A and B are shown apart, each in its own frame.
Chain A
Amino acid sequence: MGIRFVLMVNKQGQTRLAQYYEYLNIEERRALEGEIVRKCLTRNEQQCSFVEHRNYKVVYRRYASLFFLVGVDNEENELAILEFIHLLVETMDRHFGNVCELDIMFHLEKAHFMLEEMVMNGCIVETSKANILSPIQLLDKAS
């Protein structure tokens, strides 16, 4: 499994989105999120975007007040994951128009749907923004 989890966390360390591709119970999730957030949020812009944690490699990137953290296994290509994060942010930008923390908070379901279109089972399956967004736009139209 390439991608193990995707997290979005704000500057204060509050989780804004959490998607796991392997089952962890609530305690494990909280512990993992806490540890990773502590590790990543203390790092500055001049430091590299990769942190090793337990048996994960965490690739993270900061956009304004929001951190995007992706946990991958050791085989994954770190730079590709950085590109994936960027693609995710661009996709959200296109949908929400300059996405911010509140957009994700209030549209958590939609954010999950976007991720669902992009990643299945830890594998990246879609990289075209139009394809990712088309089912969500349909959903918007319907409601």
Chain B
Amino acid sequence: MTGPSLMDSLFQRSIDDLIKALRLTPPGTEAAFVAKAIEEIRREIRSTDPHTKASALQKLTYLHSLHGLDMSWAAFHSVELSSAAAHSHKRTAYLSAALSFNPATTDVILLLTHQLRKDLSSPNVHDVSLALSTLSSICNSDLARDLTPELFTLLSSSKVTVRKKAIATVLRVFEQYPDAVRVCFKRVVENLENSDMGILSAVVGLFCELTENEPRSYLPLAPEFYKILVDCKNNWVLIKVLKIFAKLAPLEPRLGKRVVEPICEIMKTMGAKSLVFECVRTILTSLSEYDSAVKLAVNKVREFLSEDDPNLKYLGLQALAIVAQKDILAVVENKDLVVKALSDSDVNIRFEALRLVMCMVSEDNVMEICRILISHALKSDPEFCNEILGFILLTCGRNYYEVVFDFDWYVLFLGEMARVPHCQKGDEIATQLIDIGMRVKDARSQLVNVTRELVIDPALLGNPFMHAVLSAAAWVSGEYIKLSRNPFEIIEALLQPRTSLLSPSVRAIYIHSAFKVLMFCVYSYLKLNGEESSLPSTLTDSELVSDVELDDHNMIVTNGQAPSASSITHHLTQESLLALVNLVEINLGPLAGSNEVEVLERSTNVLGLIKLIKPMLLGSLNDCEGDQTKGELKASETVKMIFDSCSEDLGPVSVNAQEKVPIPDGLVLKENLDDLEEICGDIKLPVLTSFSLVRPQFAETSNSAECQGKDESELSTGSTSLLAEHRKRHGLYYLSPGNTVTTSNDYPPAHDPKDMAIDEDEDLAKLTEKSLLTGKKPSQSKPRPVVVRFDDGEVTNAATNRTEIKAGLISGAVNEVLLGDEATTSSSSRRKPPKSRRAAEDSNVSITEYKSDASKIDQSEHSKAGLGGSKHNGHGKERRRRSSGKDKEHDRKDKHKSDSAAYGKHRSRHRADKAVEAQAPVIPDFLL
């Protein structure tokens, strides 16, 4: 590569040439063109002629910024050019640095320190402001540390532009180098009283950012902010001040009382929507205890919602979402508009509206709202449809179906949701179907009806999104087959040919459910025969019979209806049962050769069982002989045992159950398993849980279901007794009536004729209004079914979630500056004995609120000292400390400070006295 020559400078392409050429390049060849241009730039940028260099850098910056080209290699050239004499070259250099340097990794930044210092102290305003802009974008901790003195000087510059930019830069410097706060903070605070809008805007913007992280430190400045709030007429500044108060007001109740008036005034009189909205947001987030203000704000929100402007509509909905957390009535008042927004053309608005609608859900209106939402879901695009379904599932399932009183309705509704054409929420629906089955006994009969509809519909098998739901439905059908009206129909459905479309894991569940159903039929048949005593020889043991009956009573969940088992007996004849067994055998026969291990295993189990019971059935058909009777007896016993182990009720198990079991002495769990891990670390275990049980608390239950399934297949004769024994021994981990939460309440029946009439949104509005306003529940009374839940588990999980607040370095320094160094010593408590006790109390409060050591100290300081005085006192202290080891820069500063410190001391005494009288720990009373 040749060095830069005169020719290069003479015939250099300008940035305009480059852009024009780029525009003319045919698509596709752009990359080649850019590569060539970079080649040129690499040559030109090494030129000693600043003009050539600047032009090259300009081109490079352009390519970097808009075409995403790497220019980190040219970082040094930016530094080099920044010392150019011409202001325009300097600008180019600084801009390229600002756009491309990475403060964390670009090492040549350090080389820029000297040039920046020179420019910051330059008499040329433009050089200074240029340097400040650059510093604010590339500042790292080294630059911040080295340039703090220059910045400190600029903070009191007489030139407005410079001072404004210095203030804006300070934020970045504080972040990188918190010690700078000690030096600069007071000057920044002084600017709060400046009348120039540019300066005020910058300084208020700075405090707005600072208060975001650690608002408590800035409480002492509340009087200054208050003055700006009342006096300032600039909307930009007012918006920022409002944001500051939104952070401060919750910390100090008397402050809220003070600012609520002027904020309402602004809201009423100002025309600018942005400002009005900020007032609304401030009131709703931070001043929600002032009812009249909230009312005013909600009225404004209503105005926003009624406008045609989609922006205002969106923001109005967001504002309502803030209210919804505290005062749901305010949302209900506007629900007509919210429901209308559900059909807006903008998906963002629809989404916000949906969130609000779900906030409104209560036990009284959940049915109506869900009905409206599902009709919206059917109308909307797939994405939003699923959004709606997801919200419904989330809201209804929240906190153990808190809002659901009528589970019959909810179970039906789940089935309905599963059939919504775009539904992709199958997993969640499946989880809830199983969960309700296990938790809510009274809902089981309806649940069986719903799942029957799902299982017997061959059309659903073709939809892969339905498979999760179907697997849950199959499981429920098998598990609660006692409640089914027609087990034959279920078993046919479970074995229908189209089940081949299912995934193997789901299919395994289908087969296993079929197994349970078959077991149930055979058992019922045997029992029937036993009762009729038509074949006394088959069940000679009378004990067995009574046992069966007794068991039967326990097993079948009586629901106030006639036990549906009796209905089965009508068509339970030997022929029909045999036909059933044959059907199963024919359908499962081919599957015994399946490649899928789960499918294979399950079908082999069933076939094995059939082999066992078939002779018995055949035998009883042809008048049996002696040895056959013996075999039959054995078979019937087996059947009974399998059935018993199947019928053992599965309940939810607490997540903490395992932890409660003490580990026996001498049991080493970890080491052996570690070895195992080594051996079969890369072997993938077959997926056992075929329902996708999303929520962790169900995982254990499903495992136990699987284990049980295995027990059955092994035909372990002692399983029932083992289970019973286990239950006796570890009774406390099982569900006992005492452990369940019984919420007795009234709820309307699922198919209230009155509900049928409600289809339109307006009706929803009317109905929800009625139910919410009267606060009464519909007259039909029926106790809410018991929802089984544990009191431990989830609660402790939630409690462990403790957020830790990082002790902010900046706020620590701010406190030091504002409140004095006493924070670290405890001398002040000696000086002001009468207040020390209250200080201690306050610090306790702050511990509970904050859990942050830094703020604890701060707070106790707040309470001890009045605002203004301590601030200036602090400087007195700080001066003494700093002046010991610092350069002349500080000496100059000190002169200024000592004046203010003297002044401050005078004021502080004055204020501190007042504070004692009024019991005002934080903000002096001259304001409040």
- Measured CB to CB, the residues of A under 8 A from B are 1-2, 14-19, 21, 23, 25-26, 29-30, 43-44, 46-52, 75, 77-80, 82-83, 105-106, 108-109, 112-113, 116, 120-128, 131, 135, 138-139, 142-143
Closest partner residue, chain B, to A135 (CB atom): B126
Tell me the bound Cα distance from A30 to B69 in angstroms. Answer: 11
A48 to chain B: which residues have CB within 8 Å? 310-311, 313-314, 346, 348-349
A106 touches B212 (CB 8 A): no
The residue from B15, B137, B212, B349 contacting A21, defined by CB atoms under 8 A apart:
B137
Tell me the bound Cα distance from A51 to B352 in angstroms. Answer: 12
A121 touches B102 (CB 8 A): no
A131 touches B206 (CB 8 A): no
A82 touches B311 (CB 8 A): yes
Indicate if B88 sits at the interface (CB-CB under 8 A).
yes
Closest partner residue, chain A, to B69 (CB atom): A26
8 A Cβ contacts from B553-591 to A: none
Per-position 1/0 for B336-348, Cβ under 8 A of A:
0000000001111
A139 touches B346 (CB 8 A): no
Q: A48-B348, A75-B243 are in contact. Are A120 and B136 (CB under 8 A)?
A: yes
B65 to chain A: which residues have CB within 8 Å? 17-18, 108
A77 touches B169 (CB 8 A): no
Nearest-CB distance from A41 to chain B (Å)? 15
B137 touches A121 (CB 8 A): yes
B66 touches A116 (CB 8 A): no
A79 touches B274 (CB 8 A): yes
Nearest-CB distance from A136 to chain B (Å)? 10
Binds A, one of B197-205, B409-417, B632-640, B695-703: B197-205
B315 to chain A: which residues have CB within 8 Å? 50, 78-79
Tell me the bound Cα distance from A19 to B98 in angstroms. Answer: 9
A75 touches B212 (CB 8 A): yes
Closest partner residue, chain B, to A122 (CB atom): B209
Tell me the bound Cα distance from A17 to B64 in angstroms. Answer: 11
Per-position 1/0 for B161-205, Cβ under 8 A of A:
100110011011000000000000000000000000110011001
Extra contacts besides A78-B311, A80-B236, A108-B65 (11): CB < 8 Å: A23-B102, A43-B346, A80-B235, A80-B278, A112-B95, A120-B136, A121-B136, A121-B137, A124-B205, A125-B201, A131-B161
A49 touches B311 (CB 8 A): yes
Q: A1-B209, A77-B239 are in contact. Are A46 and B345 (CB under 8 A)?
A: yes
Indicate if B226 sits at the interface (CB-CB under 8 A).
no
Q: A79-B315, A80-B239 are in contact. Are A105 and B348 (CB under 8 A)?
A: no
The residue from A46, A79, A125 contacting B164, defined by CB atoms under 8 A apart:
A125
B15 to chain A: which residues have CB within 8 Å? 106
B314 touches A123 (CB 8 A): no
A128 to chain B: which residues have CB within 8 Å? 197-198
B209 touches A2 (CB 8 A): yes
Tell me the bound Cα distance from A114 to B395 in angstroms. Answer: 49
A16 to chain B: which residues have CB within 8 Å? 66
Please report the number of residue pairs spanning A and B whose Cβ atoms sit closer than 8 angstroms: 140
A80 touches B274 (CB 8 A): yes
Q: A15-B66, A77-B278 are in contact. Are A123 and B206 (CB under 8 A)?
A: yes
Tell me the bound Cα distance from A108 to B104 in angstroms. Answer: 26
A25 to chain B: which residues have CB within 8 Å? 102
Which 9 pairs across A and B sit closest by C-beta, in order of nearness?
A79-B274, A123-B205, A120-B168, A48-B310, A47-B346, A48-B314, A80-B274, A121-B136, A125-B202
Indicate if B654 sits at the interface (CB-CB under 8 A).
no
8 A Cβ contacts from B65-81 to A: 65-66, 68-70
Tell me the bound Cα distance from A120 to B64 in angstroms. Answer: 21
B164 to chain A: which residues have CB within 8 Å? 125-126
B102 to chain A: which residues have CB within 8 Å? 23, 25
Indicate if B129 sits at the interface (CB-CB under 8 A).
yes
A79 touches B87 (CB 8 A): no
Closest partner residue, chain B, to A116 (CB atom): B133
Indicate if B734 sits at the interface (CB-CB under 8 A).
no
Residues of B within 8 Å of A, CB-based: how many? 62
A2 to chain B: which residues have CB within 8 Å? 205, 208-209
- Measured CB to CB, the residues of B under 8 A from A are 15-16, 19, 58, 61-62, 64-66, 68-70, 87-88, 91-92, 95, 99, 102-104, 126, 129, 132-133, 136-137, 161, 164-165, 168-169, 171-172, 197-198, 201-202, 205-206, 208-209, 212, 235-236, 239, 243, 273-274, 277-278, 281, 310-311, 313-315, 345-349
The residue from A23, A29, A139 contacting B91, defined by CB atoms under 8 A apart:
A139
B95 to chain A: which residues have CB within 8 Å? 109, 112-113
Nearest-CB distance from A90 to chain B (Å)? 15
A138 to chain B: which residues have CB within 8 Å? 126
B66 touches A79 (CB 8 A): no
Q: A50-B311, A121-B172, A127-B201 are in contact. Are A142 and B88 (CB under 8 A)?
A: yes
Closest partner residue, chain A, to B67 (CB atom): A15
Mostly, the A contact residues are: mixed
Closest partner residue, chain B, to A16 (CB atom): B66
B209 touches A123 (CB 8 A): yes
Tell me the bound Cα distance from A17 to B99 in angstroms. Answer: 11
Residue contacts A-B, CB under 8 angstroms, 8 given: A2-B205, A47-B345, A47-B346, A48-B346, A50-B314, A79-B315, A82-B274, A120-B136
Closest partner residue, chain A, to B104 (CB atom): A23
Tell me the bound Cα distance from A127 to B202 in angstroms. Answer: 11
A18 to chain B: which residues have CB within 8 Å? 65-66
Nearest-CB distance from B321 to chain A (Å)? 13
B202 touches A123 (CB 8 A): yes
Tell me the bound Cα distance from A1 to B210 in angstroms. Answer: 9
B133 touches A120 (CB 8 A): yes
Most chain B beta-carbon neighbours within 10 Å: one of A26, A51, A128: A26
Nearest-CB distance from A84 to chain B (Å)? 9
Nearest-CB distance from B809 to chain A (Å)? 17
Tell me the bound Cα distance from A131 to B198 in angstroms. Answer: 10
Tell me the bound Cα distance from A124 to B208 in angstroms. Answer: 12
B205 touches A125 (CB 8 A): yes
B171 touches A79 (CB 8 A): no
A51 to chain B: which residues have CB within 8 Å? 348
A127 to chain B: which residues have CB within 8 Å? 197, 201, 236
A125 touches B349 (CB 8 A): no
B197 to chain A: which residues have CB within 8 Å? 127-128
Closest partner residue, chain A, to B311 (CB atom): A48
B347 to chain A: which residues have CB within 8 Å? 47
The residue from A29, A47, A116 contacting B310, defined by CB atoms under 8 A apart:
A47
Q: A1-B209, A30-B68, A127-B201 are in contact. Are A142 and B87 (CB under 8 A)?
A: yes
Q: A16-B66, A49-B311, A139-B87 are in contact. Are A23 and B103 (CB under 8 A)?
A: yes
A139 to chain B: which residues have CB within 8 Å? 87-88, 91
Closest partner residue, chain A, to B351 (CB atom): A52
A131 to chain B: which residues have CB within 8 Å? 161, 198
Tell me the bound Cα distance from A124 to B281 in angstroms. Answer: 20
Tell me the bound Cα distance from A118 to B869 in angstroms. Answer: 36
B201 touches A124 (CB 8 A): yes
A106 to chain B: which residues have CB within 8 Å? 15-16, 19
Tell me the bound Cα distance from A29 to B99 in angstroms. Answer: 12
Tell me the bound Cα distance from A30 to B313 in angstroms. Answer: 32
B69 to chain A: which residues have CB within 8 Å? 26
Tell me the bound Cα distance from A127 to B137 in angstroms. Answer: 20
Tell me the bound Cα distance from A55 to B640 in angstroms. Answer: 60
Tell me the bound Cα distance from A138 to B212 in angstroms. Answer: 38
Nearest-CB distance from A110 to chain B (Å)? 10
B92 touches A109 (CB 8 A): yes
A43 to chain B: which residues have CB within 8 Å? 346
B19 touches A105 (CB 8 A): yes
B310 touches A113 (CB 8 A): no
B165 to chain A: which residues have CB within 8 Å? 120, 125
Closest partner residue, chain A, to B204 (CB atom): A123
Nearest-CB distance from B267 to chain A (Å)? 14
Tell me the bound Cα distance from A44 to B349 in angstroms. Answer: 13
Tell me the bound Cα distance from A105 to B311 in angstroms. Answer: 30
Tell me the bound Cα distance from A82 to B274 in angstroms. Answer: 9
Tell me the bound Cα distance from A64 to B208 in angstroms. Answer: 34
B19 to chain A: which residues have CB within 8 Å? 105-106
